[in-house]
Amino acid sequence: MALERPRSLRELALEHLRDSIVDGSLKMGQVLSERKISEELGVSKSPVREALAQLRDEGLVSIEPQKGARVFSLSEPEVSQICDFRQAIETAAFELALARDPAGLAKEMRRVVGEMERARANGNEKRYLALDTTFHHLIFEHAGNDYLTASYSRYIGKIAALRTHLSKLPQHTELSFDEHTGIAMAVNEGDLEQIKVLLTEHIDRTRQAYKSAAIVMEGTVAT
């Protein structure tokens, strides 16, 4: 039995900060203090600084000379670009997944949708949002293309953080669940054209919701 490698202080700081941004504990545009974070975690500034640099590469943090680090915020054009990215890469992954492992993808999507329904019934929003992220990542797990997966994974935290903020909008979770259920049904039927239609509607609703979101930070739409 292989022993699990202990996580480094950098990895611990990275996981803590990423999770805090994704679940909304750290707000968009919020200033991040290396000293305060290191004191909270009981580590030196070095692993915190390394973690912030990684989060900058993931698009979750911006770092400016003399000004320090802050949680990302987005303008409407940037949100639109993210939606364009998702539309293109998820469609490509769906095509491969349905060609290579349609049964496996359908089974896993049914399972996740079932778990989403239970989380929703229990009022567990955090769990529901995590499952939402899992649902979309399944497409790449079954596509069998490491380059597509790596491209998507680089921004998965940013997409999840935006998803958290969007969940505050009225009826968002209800509409989200209906859309995921419809996509899972189309996958079960192997209907690629219907999947593309539903995916487009799903992402376009996200795009429009971002535009109309009432959460505004520093003059940018932050969803």
Same domain, 55 and 145: no
User: Is the CB of residue 220 less than 8 Å from the CB of residue 207?
Assistant: no
How much is the mean pLDDT over the chain? Answer: 90
Q: Is 138 helix (H, G, I), strand (E, B) or coil?
A: helix
Range of lowest pLDDT (1-10, 63-72, 80-89): 1-10
Q: Are residues 26 and 80 in the same domain?
A: no
Structural domain of 41: 9-71
pLDDT of residue 43: 92
Claim to verify: residue 67 and residue 80 sit in the same structural domain: no
Confidence bin at 145 (pLDDT 50/70/90): very high
Mean predicted confidence (pLDDT) in 182-210: 94
Residue 169: predicted pLDDT: 83
- 98 and 52 both lie in a single domain: no
Give pLDDT, residue 216.
39
Q: How far apart are CA 214 and CA 209, in angstroms?
A: 9
DSSP summary character for residue 30 = -
Pairing type for strands 61-64 and 216-217 reads unpaired
Residue 213: per-residue pLDDT: 66
Number of domains composing the chain: 2
Domain boundary pick from 52, 71, 90: 71
pLDDT at res. 219: 41
133 and 187 inside one domain: yes
User: Which residue, of 71, 96, 113, is where some domain finishes?
Assistant: 71
Q: Name which of 7-11, 15-19, 173-177 the model is least confident about.
A: 7-11
The two tokens of residue 74 are: 């987005």
**What are 211-223's pLDDT values in tens digits?**
776 443 334 433 3
Confidence of residue 70 (pLDDT cuts 50, 70, 90): very high
- The CATH number of whichever domain residue 27 belongs to comes to 1.10.10.10
User: Which secondary structure element, helix H or strand E, spans residue 93, and what is its range?
Assistant: helix 76-100
Say if residue 110 is in the same domain as residue 188. yes
Q: What is each CA distance from 118 to 63, 107, 129, 131, 146, in whole angstroms? A: 39, 17, 12, 11, 31
- 223 within 8 A of 206, measured Cβ to Cβ: no
Q: With bands split at pLDDT 50, 70 and 90, how would you rate the model's confidence at 76?
A: confident
Average pLDDT over residues 24-36: 92
Strand-pairing partners, residue 69, are 32, 63
Residue 57 located in a structural domain: yes
CB-based contacts of 148, cutoff 8 Å, min separation 6: 89, 92, 93, 96, 140
Residues 48 and 80 reside in one and the same domain: no
